[in-house]
Structure 1
Amino acid sequence: MSELQKSPRKTNRRRDLTVEKIVDAALEVLKSNDPSALTMRRVAEQCGVSAMAIYHHVDDKNQLANLAVDSLFRVASETPRKGSTWRDRYVDLWDSIRASLLETPGAGMIFIRQAVIGPGTAMATEQMFRHLQDGMLSGQAIAEANDAITMLTIGSIANDLTRPPQIREELGNQVSTQDAPLLNKHMQAYATRDGRARYKLAVGWILDGVVQSSEQ
């Protein structure tokens, strides 16, 4: 097929290009564990357009990365929450965000490396605050509780993306049982990790502590 024959198709693709389509293409690229895989050229290839066409909608790679991760928060904020209590709905919201970031590893790595600011994160945070308010938290306690869960989520995602589940087994070989009796006693439980289960358990501990503190 000649270049003249290809041109109308390319022109149509540029005309049909939207920020939403660009973000979808970026998320496809971010299924790689390496966020550096996200380039304007790769996203343009996914969209079937030139890199210059992308720049008509997005300023640069940093904005594109922010838009892509923010879109995952937007989807989570628009999804009906599971659970009959404020606590169940709050945990479900964070759990779904964490799952989306792990399913798109490059997006997860972006999230743990930089703040993501956009309408999606804003609306998800608003929902989080409402759930915490439904749990009878108020004032500064709402912000402090959600900030603690945010930090926990960042650490949980970083742990799952950068450390093999069984890596801790090697700790038991570093010192003798006599020198580290507790480490060796609890090694199996410590080394065998279900990331999601441990995450939800930790979220529950934080919520228990915050609620208990607010009642005093």
Structure 2
Amino acid sequence: MARKLLVLSGLASVVLAVVTYAAPVAAIGASETPAHQESAHAEGAHAEGASTPHGTSVIPTPAALKGKAKVLAPPPGGWSVPSQRNYTITASCQPHAAAIRQGAAAWQGLREGGGTPVECVNGYIADCGGGSNVVGCNWGAGQRIALYMGGVNDDALLAAHEFGHDWYGHSTVQCAAWDSPTTVMSPSICN
């Protein structure tokens, strides 16, 4: 009896994992992996110019999404990416270093030390290609990242989103969440 319960418990865990990580991608109609779906950004970053910024705005959570369950972290080891990158947390971000490292951990192959400087600012970012209430910006697919940590409820999600711009563009998802790389790459973080 105990063995049967253990097997059923294991099967339930597998089903939960599949539903948690696969269902959100299917729910948004994604038939391709995020790397295929958004590879135009990685290629387009060079075509558009090395300094093309990608801003992320904060918006109020739409009523249709309030109260919905959220996945609170990426899978262990992070999501796979096309290439390895490095980042450096600048002095302005030291109070937020743990959240930034948690956001970086969402992506396999993203390591601290050298590479993209990550700076923190004390207000909305104005020089990031337009938009209002811009809380994060990645210039040139990893040349420089700025974060306004006081503007969002989930600092690690904001960091994960901006790091994701090293490889991917914005998705069409309404609000960023931890469900998948596609949801992390939403152009809006809903508070």
TM-score range, shorter chain: under 0.3
- Higher relative contact order (Cα pairs below 8 Å, separated by 6+ residues): 2
Give TM-score scaled by structure 1 length: 0.24
* Larger radius of gyration between Structure 1 and Structure 2: 1
The answer to which structure has the higher helix fraction is 1
